[in-house]
Amino acid sequence: MSARDLASRVRGLAPGVLTAVTIALAASFLAQRYDGPQLLFALLFGMAFNFAAEGPRVKAGIDFASKKILRFGVALLGARIGLEQIAALGLMPAAIVVIAVAGTILFGWLLARLLGRKAADGLLTGGAVAICGASAALAISAVLPQGKDHQRFTLLTVVGVTTLSTVAMVLYPLLAESLALDARGAAVFLGGSIHDVAQVVGAGFMISPEVGDGATLVKLMRVALLVPVVVIFSQVYRNVHDAHADPGAPAAARPPLLPGFLVAFIALVVLNSVGVVPKAVATGLGDLSRWCLVVAIAALGVKTSFRQLAELGWQPVVMIVGETLFIAAVVLGGVALLR
């Protein structure tokens, strides 16, 4: 691409991307001011500008932000994960987390089938609830089939898991105290069942610094499981695509073995685990990842209206609530074995 073509491309994308960035900045200011969920604010602010979604000046940039910037942000999530953090948990808490994550995804798939939804819908909501809320929803969404209602369903999932995560941040510490859980048990329960990292940290430190640190470590293990989950989903749907593709279709028309953003994600996890990435750099990449996801979710919001979300029906809400209760029950059952 020549310099002139690149400049023209940038000019074409700039209005839409800057629109998404402006919405993200406003949402971040409000979230910081009132200690609210940043991604949810970005989504709602974006939806308020849905009237501009098809505007010729912003459409290309909004599409770019909702797809390319999203995948770039997901790739950078790898800088937040290190294998040494997982090893510090011990075998039993790790086993509880793995069983809870796998069980919740399987439960989401089963619930989707029972409610007449596509299997991919159950994998998306189950993965979001099981792993790390909105971030997992965006990462998993990127490797699932991009059907007619896919982006709207993804946004509804983001709204659902963010809302329930905030509710859990308030209620779960009270539940942990009412069950007389010790510091280790409370840390495993909070870190193993609340969806978003920020809410896990908030809930843990409501009880004590010890519980806050432990819950954060447990949560980071769930985040680390995003790698194998996204790889597996990517392979499953690549194989499905190949099974239904025209045998004479060129290989380039089929999904890649591993999407580029996922390769970058795994590479960052490995580099971070072996200590190649300095702590300050990893922190900076993690912050940049968060910003990319906020900008992307703002752009996705611009492309979606409340009416479109309502058209998805009541089943997605039932799925997300059911999966939330399921993972909490599984983790509490595991905590009972620790006592």
Name the phi and psi angles at 258, rounded to 5.
Answer: -135, 125
Tens digits of per-residue pLDDT, 157-214?
Answer: 888 887 787 788 778 988 998 999 988 899 999 999 998 776 787 688 778 878 877 7
Rounded Cα gap, residues 167 and 201, in angstroms:
14
- Rounded distance, CA 305 to CA 187, Å? 38
Tens of pLDDT along 79-111? Answer: 766 666 556 667 888 899 999 999 999 999 999
- Tell me how crowded residue 1 is: count the other CB atoms within 10 A of its CB: 8
Q: What percent of the chain has pLDDT over 90?
A: 20
As a whole number of angstroms, the distance between CA 24 and CA 26 comes to: 5
Phi and psi, residue 254, nearest 5°? -95, 155
Task: Give the relative orientation of helices 183-193 and 209-224 as an angle to the nearest 10 degrees.
Answer: 40
Give me the DSSP letters along 85-103.
HHHTT-HHHHHHHHHHHHH
CB atoms within 10 A of CB 260: 11
Residue type, 170: V
For 149, which DSSP code?
Answer: T
Q: What is the mean pLDDT of the chain?
A: 81
Give the total number of structural domains in the chain: 1
The amino acid at residue 274 is V
Structure tokens at 237: 């749907």
Could you tell me where the DSSP H helices lie in 225-305? 226-244, 260-273, 279-302
SS3 203: helix
Q: Please tell me the distance from the alpha carbon of residue 229 to that of residue 92, in angstroms, as a whole number.
A: 21
What's the pLDDT score for residue 246?
A: 47
CA distances from residue 110 to 99, 126, 249, 276 in whole angstroms, order as listed: 16, 10, 33, 41
Q: Please provide residue 70's backbone torsions phi and psi, each rounded to the nearest 5 degrees.
A: -60, -50
CA distance 321 to 220: 22
Structure tokens at 108: 């989401």
Which domain does 243 fall in, by range? 3-338
Least confident of 221-230, 261-270, 290-299, 300-309: 300-309
State the pTM of this model. 0.66
Give residue 326's pLDDT band: very low, low, confident or very high (50, 70, 90): very high
Q: What is the CA radius of gyration of the chain?
A: 20
Average pLDDT over residues 240-265: 54
| DSSP, residue by residue, 246-258 | -TTS-GGGSPPSS
